[in-house]
Amino acid sequence: MNIAKHPSFEADWDADQLRVIEAEADARLVVEAGPGTGKTAVACARLAYLISDEDVEPSNTWMISFTRTAVAEIRARLHSYVGDASFAIRIATIDSHAWSIHSGHDANARLTGSYEENIARVIDLLKSDKDVADELSQIEHVVIDEAQDLVGQRADLIEELVKRLPSDCGVTVFADEAQAIYGFSDDSVGHRKGGAAKPGKALLERLRAESSLGFETLILKEIYRTSSPGLRKIFSDLRKDVLDKNRHCDGFHAETAEKIRKFADKKGLKWTQMKVADFTRDDLLLFRTRGEVLMAAQFCDLPHRLRLSGYGATLPAWLAICFWDFVESYLGEGHFLDLWATRIENKAAPHYGPAEAWQHLLRVAGRRDGSVDMQKLRRRLGQARPPVELTLPEFGLQGPIVGTIHASKGREASNVVLLLPNGADFETAEDEAEEARVLFVGATRARTSLIVGEGNAFRASTLASGRVHRSVRNGKSTMVEVGRDGDITAPGLVGRSEFRAADAKAGQSFLAKAADVITTYKLEADPDLDWRYRIRVGDEGPCVGVMSRNLTFDLWKILENRKQRRSHKPPSYVNHVRGQGSATIVLGPDDSDLETLNEPWATSGFVLAPRIAAFPPFFFFRRK
C-alpha cells in the first residue's frame, strides 16, 4: 500500500511528513515542529504505515500520549486508517502504560503508593525484572506524542524505557518546545505545580545528548491548521520569539499577550459581557485557570461542554439505563437490541446507534459464543480508566467547549476565544517564559478565527483535595466547586443508608428522564446523614443522590483556613447547582460498595448519576 495514496488517509502528505511516515521501521527520530504542522496526524500515519506496509504487528506497537482525551482522538484516527487493527495498538497515557507495567509484573502492585513511588517502582522493574525485559523485547515500535512536556520522573521513565528497548525497535518522538508547559498547573497564573522544584533535564535534551540512543532530528515546516494570515503570524513569528531564550526577560509575558492581541481577528472582549449562547459547538472558550472556567460555566445556563482536568471521561447514561436491572451473567445481541429499542432510541442516545454500541460491548467483554460477559464488562468499566471507546470525550451535553488551555493542548477548534490573564508576578525569567508559552498554546488552537478577550483578575484558592473556592461579595459567600471525582458515588445514589429502595428508584427514574437535559438542583444538608447534602430537584422534586463526605470535609477545611471553624457552619442548603444530563457509574463485581446498595443495583452494578460540575455560592453562617 502506498500511504500517500491510501484513500482513507485524509491528507496529501508533504515531503517532510512522508520522510517521517515512511522512515525505516527501526529508525529513531525526534520530529520537531510547530503547532498545526500535523505532528499528531503524522504520528498516526506513521503507525498505520508500519502496520500496513512494514508488517509490524499492531500489538507490538505503543503509542504514548499525554492526556486521556488525546488518546481517544488518536484511537479514532487510527481506526479510520487501519480499521480494527487499531484496537491492538497499545495507545495510552504515560501513566497508564506505567501502571500496566506495574500491575502486570509486580504481584504487590497497588494504587496506594504516591504517584512518585509508583513511577519509581516501574523504573526499578524496567531496570531489573526479567519478565518486563521479555515484554520489552517484543516491542517493534514506540511513538511518543507531545514529548516536550516530559520532564522529571516521567522523563526518567521514558528514558529508561528507550534504553531497554531492543536495538532494532524504532522510536518516533514528536515535540514542540515552544509548547512546553509542564511546570505550571491550571490553578493560578505563575503557580508552579505543588510548589515543585525545577523540573530538571527534559526528555528531548536527554535523547539528543545520548548519542548511543541513535536519534536523528527531522522537522515539519508547513502549517496546515490555518490559512488565516494573522493566525499564521502567531504560529510562526511568535513561535520564534517564544523559542528565543535571549528574549526571555522581564515583560516577556505581557509582550507575548500584546502580540497575540495584535494578530487576533478581534480583541478587547470582556468575558463578563459574553454569553455562551453566542457560541456554537465549533467554538472553544479558553481560560487560563480552573476558577475562571468554573465561573464561566456556572453563569451559563445553556448546554455546553467542560474541558477541565478532573472532569474527564464519563460513561454514557445509556449503559445504566439499559443495565440497571440486568442481573444475568451473559447478554445476547437480541436482548440488547430489545433493551435499546425500549429504553434508549430517542432518549440519551449517543452519536452511534445500537449496532455500534453492541460492537463496543463485544470488544470490551465479548465471549466466543457472541454474547457479552457482564462480569467482565463491569470489571472493565468499573476501572479508574475505563476503555476509551465507551467513554464520552467531553464532560457535558452539547454546545461550545469551555475549558482551560492546559486541558486543550494538542486539540483544535474552528473558532477560539482566548481570555488572556491580565498580568501576573513572576519569580524568574524562566517562569515568565513558561507562562508566555501557555498563551502561545492557547492562541494556536484556532483553525479559522481567534478572538482575544480579557480574563477576570479574580483570585481563587485551591484546597489540598484540588477543590477550587472563591470568596465573593466581600466574604459574605463562597463559591465552591461541586461535582469533583468522589463527590458523587454509587452509595450516594442508591445506598441503603441513604435511600429506601422506592426512593432510590424514583431518583434513578428522574435521572433517566433527564439524561440529556440541563437540570438545576438544590443541595440540602441532612442531619440524619451527618449533614451530607441531599441533591434535590427543586423544592418538591425527587432526591437524586447524596453528596459524599468529601464536600462537607472540604467546607470545614475552608472554615479552618479562615480560622472560622468554631464561629461558623456550612449552610443548610445551596441553590444553583446545575447538572448537565446524567452519566453511568459502574461497580466491578468485587467492589465492596455493592453490599451497601439497594437491589437491583447491588446485583447489577450499573447506577445513574447526575453529571454535575458547578461552582455555586455557599453562605457559611455564624453559629448562635
The burial class, CB within 10 Å (0-12 / 13-18 / 19+), for 258 is exposed
In this structure, what C-alpha cell is assigned to residue 506? 424514583
Q: What residues are designated binding site?
A: 33-40
* Residues in contact with 409: Cβ distance below 8 Å, sequence separation at least 6, in sequence order: 66, 67, 70, 146, 149, 179, 181, 441
Give the shortest CB-21-to-ligand ATP separation in angstroms: 10
Q: What does residue 29 show for φ and ψ, rounded to 5 degrees? A: -125, 140
DSSP code at position 256: H
Binding site for ligand ATP (CB under 6 A): 11-14, 17, 33, 35-41, 176, 179, 224-225, 410, 412, 444
Give the shortest CB-45-to-ligand ATP separation in angstroms: 9
The residue number whose beta carbon is nearest to ligand ATP equals 38
Q: What does residue 205 show for φ and ψ, rounded to 5 degrees? A: -55, -40
* Residues in contact with 48: Cβ distance below 8 Å, sequence separation at least 6, in sequence order: 3, 6, 9, 78, 81, 82
Tally Cβ neighbours within 10 Å of residue 569.
Answer: 18
Q: Cα–Cα distance between 507 and 376 in angstroms, integer?
A: 27
Residue 447 or 467: the one with the smaller Cβ distance to ligand ATP is 447
Which stretches within 193-284 are classed as H helix?
Answer: 203-209, 229-233, 239-243, 252-263
* Residues in contact with 450: Cβ distance below 8 Å, sequence separation at least 6, in sequence order: 228, 230, 231, 234, 260, 263, 264, 265, 415, 416, 418, 443
Give the shortest CB-261-to-ligand ATP separation in angstroms: 20
Give the shortest CB-40-to-ligand ATP separation in angstroms: 4
Give the shortest CB-440-to-ligand ATP separation in angstroms: 10
Is 63 in contact with 47 (CB distance < 8 Å)? Answer: yes
Residue 57 or 412: the one with the smaller Cβ distance to ligand ATP is 412
Residue 16 or 435: the one with the smaller Cβ distance to ligand ATP is 16
CA angle 492, 496, 502 (to 5 degrees): 95
Residue 11 or 219: the one with the smaller Cβ distance to ligand ATP is 11
Give the shortest CB-175-to-ligand ATP separation in angstroms: 9
Give the shortest CB-72-to-ligand ATP separation in angstroms: 14
In this structure, what C-alpha cell is assigned to residue 93? 497515557
Residue 2 or 422: the one with the smaller Cβ distance to ligand ATP is 2
Is 598 in contact with 542 (CB distance < 8 Å)? Answer: no
Q: Cα–Cα distance between 153 and 203 in angstroms, integer?
A: 10
In this structure, what C-alpha cell is assigned to residue 168? 532494532
Query: Strand 305-307 to strand 461-462: parallel, antiparallel, or no bridges (unpaired)?
Result: unpaired
Give the shortest CB-453-to-ligand ATP separation in angstroms: 21
Q: What residues are designated binding site for ATP?
A: 33-40
Residue 41 or 158: the one with the smaller Cβ distance to ligand ATP is 41
Q: Cα–Cα distance between 42 and 182 in angstroms, integer?
A: 23
Is 618 in contact with 574 (CB distance < 8 Å)? Answer: yes
Q: Cα–Cα distance between 153 and 159 in angstroms, integer?
A: 10
DSSP code at position 366: B
Q: Cα–Cα distance between 314 and 316 in angstroms, integer?
A: 6
Residue 372, beta-bridge partner list: 331, 366
Residue 361 or 443: the one with the smaller Cβ distance to ligand ATP is 443
Give the shortest CB-264-to-ligand ATP separation in angstroms: 17
Q: Which of 30, 61, 46 is nearest to 136 (CA)?
A: 61
For residue 513, CA distances in Å to 44, 107, 298, 500, 612 come to 39, 44, 23, 20, 16
Which stretches within 244-283 are classed as H helix?
Answer: 252-263
Residue 14 or 333: the one with the smaller Cβ distance to ligand ATP is 14
Residue 416 or 494: the one with the smaller Cβ distance to ligand ATP is 416
In DSSP notation, 282-317 reads TEEEEESSHHHHHHHHHT--S--EEE-TT---BEEH
Residue 394 or 516: the one with the smaller Cβ distance to ligand ATP is 394
Residue 41 or 242: the one with the smaller Cβ distance to ligand ATP is 41
Residue 16 or 156: the one with the smaller Cβ distance to ligand ATP is 16
Give the shortest CB-144-to-ligand ATP separation in angstroms: 13
Give the shortest CB-67-to-ligand ATP separation in angstroms: 11
DSSP-based three-state secondary structure for 541: coil
Give the shortest CB-422-to-ligand ATP separation in angstroms: 25
